[in-house]
């Protein structure tokens, strides 16, 4: 990871440093479906299921207030207690899985929809087009991500979709850069170059050969960004910028639990643990994906 040899190998953005590959599972290497991977995959599936089945699983209505019973500790009725509005913490946690995964989906889709064409065009076209597009990306990557995301959310209006859209926009230059270097590698390979003699349009080359072969590293980057976007979502929710009250979200659960943390730390610990575990599971899956994609093809 040292960058001593050339200035070129310096990381371009905090994102690349913050989630070094192998963050969880260690260095690269072909690992079979070991227990860690199974656990990770299982956990993500579990969270997804919880979100889908929330109406069935949650013991209480997550927004129903019961002010007389506010900040009650864990009990048989409320396994994790109630929050400062008397709402059941556990139910809010269960329901919070929905915006969590939905939000991550929005963020990653946005990052892809903006970043992939950006990187593809820049890498394939080369020359001035590439220069301009990449200068733009570099300029954006210098800026503090969370601050920009908050700024964009201000403009768009505070909501889950807008907040995650903003996060996706902040991520897109990273995706663009990664795809672009993939494209540069593949663009001059013989199987691409030779198709020019077959009277086929450039679009054929780009979509059939260049993109599929160049997209691997970008996909890996996207899985890393998935983990980060979950953290971003928790952060923005904590600040009250994402999901708007009274709708439940993990970030909001953190914020509200914090208000009475001294009395009932479980109300804060539960969402914290869930968030951290989900992020770790996502990183682990990303590592596995990277292992698989790195088979010499």
The residues in 214-243 that bind other proteins, with binding defined as CB under 8 A, are: 231, 234-235, 238-241
Which of 189, 207, 292, 293 binds other proteins (CB under 8 A)? It is: 189
Query: Of these, 142, 207, 292, 293, which contacts other proteins (CB under 8 A)?
Result: 142
Q: Which is closer to other proteins, CB of 64 or CB of 259?
A: 259
CB nearer other proteins, residue 152 or residue 289: 152
* Of 61 and 294, CB closest to other proteins: 294
Site membership for other proteins, residue 151 (CB under 8 A): yes
Output the smallest distance, CB 269 to other proteins, in A.
8
Minimum CB distance to other proteins, residue 59 (Å): 25
HEC string of the chain equals CCCCCCHHHCCCCHHHHHCCCCCCCCCCCCCCCCHHHHHHHHHHHHHHHHHHCHHHHCCCCCCCCCHHHCCCCCCCCCCCCECCCCCEHHHHHHHHHHHHHHHHHHHHHHHHHHHHHHHHHHHHHCHHHHHHHHHHHHHHHHCCHHHHHHHHHHHHCCCHHHHHHHHHHHHHHHHHHHHHHHHHHHHCCHHHHHHHHHCCCHHHHHHHHHHHHHHHHHHHHHHHHHHHHHHHHHHHHHHCCCCCCCCCCHHHHHHHHHHCCCCCCHHHHHHHHHHHHHHHHHHHHHHHHHHHHCCCC
Nearest approach, Cβ of 218 to other proteins (angstroms)?
A: 15
Question: Does the footprint of other proteins cover residue 77 (CB under 8 A)?
Answer: no
104 binds other proteins (CB under 8 A): no
Residue from 18, 39, 79, 105 touching other proteins (CB under 8 A): that is 18
Nearest-approach distance from CB 213 to other proteins, in angstroms = 7
């Amino acid at each position: 990871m040292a960058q001593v040899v050339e200035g070129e190998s310096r990381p371009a953005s905090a994102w690349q440093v913050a989630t070094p590959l192998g963050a969880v599972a260690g260095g690269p290497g072909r690992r079979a479906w070991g227990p860690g991977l199974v656990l990770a995959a299982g956990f993500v599936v579990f969270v997804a299921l919880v979100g889908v089945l929330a109406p069935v699983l949650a013991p209480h209505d997550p927004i129903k207030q019961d002010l007389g019973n506010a900040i009650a500790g864990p009990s048989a009725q409320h396994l994790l207690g109630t929050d400062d509005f008397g709402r059941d913490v556990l139910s809010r946690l269960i329901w919070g899985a929905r915006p969590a995964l939905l939000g991550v989906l929005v963020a990653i889709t946005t990052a892809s929809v903006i970043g992939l064409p950006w990187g593809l065009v820049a890498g394939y076209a080369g020359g001035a087009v590439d220069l301009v597009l990449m200068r733009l990306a570099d300029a954006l990557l210098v800026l503090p991500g969370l601050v920009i995301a908050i700024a964009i959310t201000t403009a768009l209006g505070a909501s889950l979709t807008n907040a995650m859209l903003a996060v996706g926009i902040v991520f897109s230059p990273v995706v663009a850069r990664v795809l672009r270097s993939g494209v540069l590698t593949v663009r001059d390979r013989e199987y691409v170059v030779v198709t020019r003699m077959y009277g086929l349009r450039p679009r054929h080359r780009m979509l059939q050969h260049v993109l599929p072969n160049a997209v691997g590293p970008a996909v890996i980057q996207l899985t890393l960004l998935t983990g980060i976007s979950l953290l971003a979502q928790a952060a923005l929710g904590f600040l009250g910028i994402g999901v708007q009250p009274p709708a439940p979200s993990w970030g909001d659960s953190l914020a509200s639990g914090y208000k009475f943390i001294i009395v009932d730390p479980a109300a804060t610990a539960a969402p914290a643990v869930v968030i951290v575990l989900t992020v770790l599971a996502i990183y682990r899956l990303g590592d596995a994906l990277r292992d698989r994609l790195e088979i010499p093809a």
